[in-house]
């Protein structure tokens, strides 16, 4: 006789979110279409219609016109596509806490990319940014809307004003914003926005690079061929994935305002449980504006790997930071940029909520976390 399925709490939405019902249904319908969206016959036009409907839905989520949106294989490709010399912006300034797809994926030549430092609260140092902008002509700034590890929301509008006053361009990685908060204010002033469908309930493997004004276009395309996506990204489009992206975008936009309030309340209850079990816990970025769904913390003296293992065995899925860096021994570059001591950074745990998170997840975490901390502290004291 099979053992009963154990209840689990999924608290790793910043890595990926479960697929929304609406996205699954849209993809299932798209799988039944035979046509290539570049073909002019009825089947091809039906596939093209699905793509353009999804493009409109993503545009509405981002608050922009749909025409210039380029669908990609995800946020990483969108970042690689965006981050190259455009016009007079022949150098790059990136926030020191940017995702690795920005720090390692840009197409600027060696020596043409520099980092803008973060303050202890995780936000970009605007004075240092201004000094960097004044040093050597117009620049492209890559700045996250919100950090994937800490949830700290960046001052995109203020940074964009500095960049634009000097003839530069701003690319905003808004991957962690969508589905957690309305996109309008956090990305205000950005010239390009990057989204990834699977972070808010769409399918994995599809994203978008979104210009905020119709006259903006990317520089040199990376993929050349048949001229799809108006020449910006060649290759037959992922019709089913794009359809799921659009469906998730429509739902996320409809729920955005209420979801931000709901997630913030859940996150606050989650942090109350953490402080209840470990009063000496350190929450990174606690003094800055943060995403309503994210908390990143460390319990002094407890290694992240040990705590994550205990939580997983007790039915709680959490992470120690970016999923793209999991399994690597290197210290978080985000926490390093914030000046966090190495021994504290080694204990960093990230919990992130999303569209299917419920109060039961908080309760299950509480049941797992307090005993895990107590056990690990007892073990450390006996060592």
As a whole number of angstroms, the distance between CA 224 and CA 206 comes to 18
As a whole number of angstroms, the distance between CA 350 and CA 304 comes to 10
Q: Are 323 and 15 in contact (CB under 8 A)?
A: yes
**162: number of Cβ within 10 Å:** 20
Nearest to 336 by CA among 344, 328, 325, 327: 344
Provide the token pair at 53. Answer: 């409907």
Cα dist from 228 to 32, 45, 327, whole Å:
22, 14, 36
As a whole number of angstroms, the distance between CA 119 and CA 117 comes to 7
Phi then psi dihedrals of residue 217, to 5 deg: -145, 155
**76: number of Cβ within 10 Å:** 20
User: Helix or strand or coil: residue 284?
Assistant: coil
**Residue 101 annotated in active site:** no
Nearest to 123 by CA among 371, 383, 339: 339
Q: Are 357 and 263 in contact (CB under 8 A)?
A: yes
Question: Is the C-alpha dihedral spanning 105, 110, 116, 120 positive or negative?
Answer: positive
As a whole number of angstroms, the distance between CA 242 and CA 363 comes to 36
Provide the token pair at 323. Answer: 């999923």
Provide the token pair at 104. Answer: 């390692």
Helical pair 239-277 and 42-62, crossing angle rounded to 10 deg: 30
Nearest to 143 by CA among 62, 196, 83: 83
Provide the token pair at 248. Answer: 């998730």
As a whole number of angstroms, the distance between CA 374 and CA 282 comes to 17
CA angle 57, 61, 65 (to 5 degrees): 70
- Give the catalytic positions in this structure: 324
């Amino acid at each position: 006789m099979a053992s009963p399925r154990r209840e689990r709490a999924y608290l790793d939405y910043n890595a990926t979110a479960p697929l929304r019902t609406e996205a699954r249904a849209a993809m299932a319908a798209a799988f039944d279409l035979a046509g290539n969206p570049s073909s002019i016959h009825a089947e091809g036009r039906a596939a093209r219609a699905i793509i353009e409907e999804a493009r409109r839905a993503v545009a509405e989520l981002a608050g922009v016109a749909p025409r210039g949106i380029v669908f990609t294989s995800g946020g990483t490709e969108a970042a690689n596509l965006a981050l190259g010399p455009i016009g007079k912006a022949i150098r790059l300034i990136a926030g020191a806490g940017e995702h690795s797809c920005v720090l390692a994926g840009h197409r600027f030549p060696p020596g043409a990319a520099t980092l803008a430092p973060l303050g202890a609260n995780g936000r970009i140092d605007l004075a240092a940014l201004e000094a960097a902008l004044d040093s050597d002509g117009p620049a492209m700034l890559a700045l996250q809307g919100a950090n994937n590890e800490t949830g700290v929301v960046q001052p995109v509008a203020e940074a964009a004003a500095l960049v634009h006053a000097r003839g530069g361009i701003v690319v905003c990685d808004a991957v962690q914003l969508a589905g957690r908060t309305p996109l309008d204010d956090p990305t205000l002033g950005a010239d390009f926005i990057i989204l990834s469908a699977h972070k808010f309930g769409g399918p994995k493997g599809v994203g978008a690079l979104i210009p905020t004004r119709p006259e903006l276009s990317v520089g040199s395309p990376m993929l050349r061929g048949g001229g799809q996506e108006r020449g910006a990204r060649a290759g037959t489009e992922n019709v089913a994935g794009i359809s799921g992206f659009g469906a998730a975008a429509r739902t996320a936009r409809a729920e955005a305002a209420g979801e931000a309030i709901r997630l913030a309340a859940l996150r606050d209850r989650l942090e109350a449980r953490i402080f209840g079990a470990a009063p000496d816990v350190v929450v990174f970025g606690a003094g800055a504006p943060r995403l309503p769904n994210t908390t990143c913390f460390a319990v002094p003296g407890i290694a992240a790997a040990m705590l994550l293992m205990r939580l997983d065995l007790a039915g709680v899925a959490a992470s120690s930071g970016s999923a793209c860096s999991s399994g690597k021994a290197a210290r978080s570059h985000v926490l390093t940029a914030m000046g966090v001591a190495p021994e504290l950074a080694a204990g960093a745990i990230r919990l992130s909520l999303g569209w299917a998170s419920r109060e039961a997840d908080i309760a299950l975490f509480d049941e797992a976390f307090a005993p895990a901390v107590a056990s690990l502290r007892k073990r450390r004291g006996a060592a």
